[in-house]
Chains A and B, each alone.
Chain A
Amino acid sequence: SQTIHQWPATLVQPVGSPLSLECTVEGTSNPNLYWYRQAAGRGLQLLFYSVGIGQISSEVPQNLSASRPQDRQFILSSKKLLLSDSGFYLCAWSVGTGGPGTQYFGPGTRLLVL
């Protein structure tokens, strides 16, 4: 069966500090991978998605970046965090079937920028 891991679970960071969140998937090959952010009182916002190693699509301009160094690893980064980066960050995976495969979410990382 497939499992998805995210770490850390919670993070408190000062404004201007760097960020690195990691997501790994087990039990599947060549998944589509996604990063979402959920701010308080708002819907899930797609930040990045990837259909393969080194292939990243950005949905929203921001000070975040994403990388996919391995097939089942997806990393979200920032060089300098802003207060507005606080939120619940969720990684998700789906199987690429040519259609909108169901996305399955990891447990999430709760980020607070102070």
Chain B
Amino acid sequence: GQNIDQPTEMTATEGAIVQINCTYQTSGFNGLFWYQQHAGEAPTFLSYNVLDGLEEKGRFSSFLSRSKGYSYLLLKELQMKDPASYLCACASGANNLFFGTGTRLTVIP
């Protein structure tokens, strides 16, 4: 079976750094995606990791440890446009993405 765990909610202060963790169990693991979804909107792609290590893209970084079934998304210098749900998704095979329920991030001014 497939399972993804991520915290339901997180709160952080504007300008701070926040780390959103994701643990997963899946067969045929073929990479891990992070998406951002603002309320009422469609998800937008943030990052993809298939090898162990850290991928940095501007204020966003994503880390993967395949042996531990663990990933995190790091958001630096939080801004008031960052409140959203952050979705962790495992790729299984060529076409299947299995999504977690998302972490709702609140940013306090």
Total cross-chain contacts (CB, 8 A):
58
Is B27 close to A, CB under 8 A? no
| Minimum C-beta distance from A40 to chain B (A) | 11
| Minimum C-beta distance from B82 to chain A (A) | 19
Which A46-80 residues have a C-beta within 8 angstroms of B? 46, 49, 51, 57, 59
Task: Flag if A104 contacts B45 (CB, 8 Å).
Answer: yes
Is A106 close to B, CB under 8 A? yes
Q: Which residues on the A side are within 8 Å of B102 (C-beta)?
A: 43
Task: Flag if A105 contacts B101 (CB, 8 Å).
Answer: no
Listed A/B pairs (10) with beta-carbon separation below 8 Å: A34-B95, A43-B99, A51-B95, A57-B95, A94-B95, A100-B31, A100-B97, A102-B33, A102-B45, A108-B42
User: Which residue from chain A places its CB closest to the CB of B8 in the assembled complex?
Assistant: A41
The interface centre, meaning the residue of B48, B93, B94, B101 with most chain A CB atoms within 10 A of its CB, is B94
Interface size on A, residues (CB 8 A): 25
**Chain B interface mostly:** strand
Binding site for A on B (CB under 8 A): 4, 30-31, 33, 41-45, 48, 50, 87, 89, 91, 93-102
Other-chain residue from A41, A51, A100, A108 in contact with B91 (beta carbon distance below 8 A): A100
The interface centre, meaning the residue of B89, B93, B97, B101 with most chain A CB atoms within 10 A of its CB, is B97
Is A32 close to B, CB under 8 A? yes
A46 to B91, CA, bound (A): 12
Task: Flag if B43 contacts A44 (CB, 8 Å).
Answer: yes
